[in-house]
Amino acid sequence: MIAGIRRVGPVEWEIPVGFIEGMRVPGTFYLSESLAATLEEGAVRQLANVATMPGIVGRALAMPDVHWGYGFPIGGVAAFGQENGVISPGGVGFDINCGVRLIATPLTVHDLGKMKELVNALFSTVPTGVGAQRTGRLSGTELEAILATGASWAVEAGFGIPGDIIRCEEGGCMEGALPEEVSQKARQRGMPQSGTLGSGNHFLEVQVVAEVIDEEAAAAFGVARDQICFMVHCGSRGLGHQVCTDYLKVLEAATKKYGIMLPDRQLACAPLTSKEAERYFGAMAAAANYAWANRQIITHMAREVFSKHFGIEYEEMPLVYDVAHNVAKFEEHHVEGRRMRLCVHRKGATRAFGPGSSDIPQTLASIGQPVIIPGSMGSSSFLLKGTANAMERTFGSTCHGAGRVSSRSKAKKNLDGSIIKEMLAKRGIVVKATSNAVIAEEAPEVYKPSSEVVAVVHQAGLSMEVARLEPLGVIKG
Amino acid sequence: MPFQELDHTADVLIRVNAPDIPSLFTEAATAMFSLITSNRNDDGIVRRVSLEGESNEDLLYDFLAELLFIAEVDRLIFSAVTVEISENSLHAVARGEVFEPARHAGAMEIKGISYSGMNIREGKDGYQVDILFDV
């Protein structure tokens, strides 16, 4: 282990105050022994940097899929007090409200015919990869409505069913969105990209529920063993990227204006009470709404494909849940016996609210929030439930995915996408991507095993396993 | 080699070297588009960029962000970029071609340019900068 970090529990490691100059709180990593062996110095330094930020409450936290990013480490969580804290785009990232959703179908593994045909139909229907656009471009008025109301706009426009909204984090619409703070440039990028999957690690995957670990929770969430589901992983596309690009500059100016000292320029931030913070939050929330509408439109396209392919009704494919894993939000949490309103940043981390929370669907109040952890291509994905323990220890947060262990350039150099595709096909997984290079970059071996990451959050009690899903067909940009 | 890719787990980190500041900007821009796709031609399509900034780092960030923006909304891939810088102003000409989904299949999407570690350093052989792209 990296010098200066100490183990404080079976899956808990601490960076003490003083590890770097200016730390206001300690940092905590949730890692197993074997995951700790892959921890990068860059990620440790970045978590320590976060701990220096003004108004940080409790601890700077990192989930077991932590890795070296920019600004916050990926897998980083930090909460800031409303009166004396800050907001930073470095704690959210460029892909605002990158997230994942799981949709159930009435099919079981025995109803499936040739997966290749289904995957081809999904690939030709859902715009995928760089430069892909959806037919039926948005009007300026429609984009405005999306920025203000998110998934609700999509459902009202015929891209879903009312039940979808209830099963989205925040009801698929962040309060406090200020569309007027989203630049013309961001709008220009967002206009043709609504309802597109994007590229990189984003995907649409057909999955089977291979194992149910918690029967009661699985039944409440609406999944059962052998059931066919599909999962959508994407974010706010160029619109969100541009909002981050625009506001990094605004917040950097604010950092200087308010005399905030930071160890990394990418942590540029503004006091939550400032005009700059209000503007960034408003634009970020609007971009988050765009992402929810985006996932909703993709869901609609995939439902139509399933409907046509299998002769099943659209309404027979309910949304299990939709989570955001790159976002900052105002939430109330108990801190040292006090109820506090905090700005919680989750960058590559998922909200995991426990039973009784008023922010989760009423029908799931006794169970906890569904948490969706996508696997890397070819590996298991998981459905988990939020816990009271997460509320106490991590501001109701858990991991978000597998976490990379090897760079894209190394993967492209050392791995052959066509061979990986064949190997996955032998395991019964059909992959359709815009190129073999994308398959090599996202190969299963460049990620930490998702099962190991999930085992840590389960052991730490940050979220508990409900079901394991295995991939059958994947489309990727 | 005007630029090299350094190891970074999640994103793409490059190191760019050039004898002077305008060529550092040129190399950074061409490196960015070579990361996006290796199929690049100059088909005579031209876009001009003019910017002002308080420091060379600010100018570089804005310049790369502006090229990414133009490339995305105008659906272009740039292959050649010339840059002039005087005091705090930048004037650049970017040349390239129209993005074609079939020919540019598998292109990498750059989500943004990070401020992390972007410091232009002067050495005995010229200038050097590390740029981290979120991809």
Q: Is the dihedral of CA A185, A186, A192, A196 positive or negative?
A: positive
Position A338 scores a pLDDT of: 93
Check if B75 contacts A (Cβ < 8 Å): yes
A211: closest CA of chain B, how far (Å): 30
Position A397 scores a pLDDT of: 98
Output the CA–CA distances (angstroms, integers) from residue A466 to A367, A373, A457, B101, in the order listed.
11, 11, 12, 40
DSSP H helices, A263-320, are 275-310
Position A1 scores a pLDDT of: 75
User: Letter for the amino acid at A280?
Assistant: Y
Q: Looking at the whole model, is its pTM more than 0.90?
A: yes
Residue A299, phi then psi, degrees to nearest 5: -55, -45
Check if A95 contacts B (Cβ < 8 Å): yes
Tokens (6 digits) for B116: 């992390």
C-alpha–C-alpha distance, residues A110 and A114, integer Å:
11
A278: closest CA of chain B, how far (Å): 22
C-alpha–C-alpha distance, residues A372 and A383, integer Å:
5
Q: Is B113 helix (H, G, I), strand (E, B) or coil?
A: strand
Check if B94 contacts A (Cβ < 8 Å): no
Output the CA–CA distances (angstroms, integers) from residue A362 to A357, A365, B63, in the order listed.
9, 5, 49
B13: closest CA of chain A, how far (Å): 10
Pairwise CB contact (< 8 Å): B111 & A248: no
Tokens (6 digits) for A144: 């405005």
Q: Is B129 helix (H, G, I), strand (E, B) or coil?
A: strand
Residue B8, phi then psi, degrees to nearest 5: -145, 130
Give the residue-averaged pLDDT of B42-47: 94
Set of chain A residues whose Cβ sits within 8 Å of the Cβ of B118? 265
Check if B114 contacts A (Cβ < 8 Å): yes
Q: How far is CA A380 from the centre of its chain?
A: 16
Position A413 scores a pLDDT of: 85
Output the CA–CA distances (angstroms, integers) from residue B85 to A88, A362, B17, in the order listed.
31, 60, 17
C-alpha–C-alpha distance, residues A208 and A94, integer Å:
31
Check if A389 contacts B (Cβ < 8 Å): no
Pairwise CB contact (< 8 Å): A408 & B135: yes
Q: At CA A96, angle to CA A91 and CA A101, rounded to 5?
A: 115
Position B45 scores a pLDDT of: 96
C-alpha–C-alpha distance, residues A453 and A470, integer Å:
16
Position B117 scores a pLDDT of: 87
Position A2 scores a pLDDT of: 85
Output the CA–CA distances (angstroms, integers) from residue A348 to A68, A100, A236, A447, in the order listed.
11, 11, 14, 14
Query: Residue B65 burial (CB < 10 Å; 0-12/13-18/19+)?
Result: buried
How many CA atoms does the CB half-sphere of A87 hold within 13 Å? 28
Position A403 scores a pLDDT of: 81
Pairwise CB contact (< 8 Å): A188 & B7: no
Q: Along the 477 residues of chain A, how does pLDDT read in single tens digits?
A: 788 999 999 999 999 999 999 999 999 999 999 999 989 999 999 999 999 999 999 999 999 999 999 999 999 999 999 999 999 999 999 999 999 999 999 999 999 888 999 999 999 999 999 999 888 889 999 999 999 999 999 999 999 999 999 999 999 999 999 999 999 999 999 999 999 999 989 999 999 999 999 999 999 999 999 999 999 999 999 999 999 999 999 999 999 999 999 999 999 999 999 999 999 999 999 999 999 999 999 999 999 999 999 999 999 999 999 999 999 999 999 998 999 999 999 999 999 999 999 999 999 999 999 999 999 888 999 999 999 999 999 999 999 998 888 888 888 888 999 999 999 999 999 999 999 988 999 988 888 889 999 999 999 999 999 999 999 999 998
C-alpha–C-alpha distance, residues A13 and A460, integer Å:
12
C-alpha–C-alpha distance, residues A138 and A274, integer Å:
33
**Chain B contact probe: residue of A40, A96, A183, A407 with most B CBs at under 10 A:** A407
Residue B1 has pLDDT above 70, yes or no: no
Query: pLDDT tens for residues A405-453?
Result: 888 888 888 899 999 999 999 999 999 999 998 899 998 888 888 999 9
A to B CB pairs, distance under 8 Å: 98
Which residue in chain B is spatially nearest to A411 when comparing CA positions? B9
Position A173 scores a pLDDT of: 98
Position A165 scores a pLDDT of: 98
B86: closest CA of chain A, how far (Å): 22
Strand partners, A9: A12
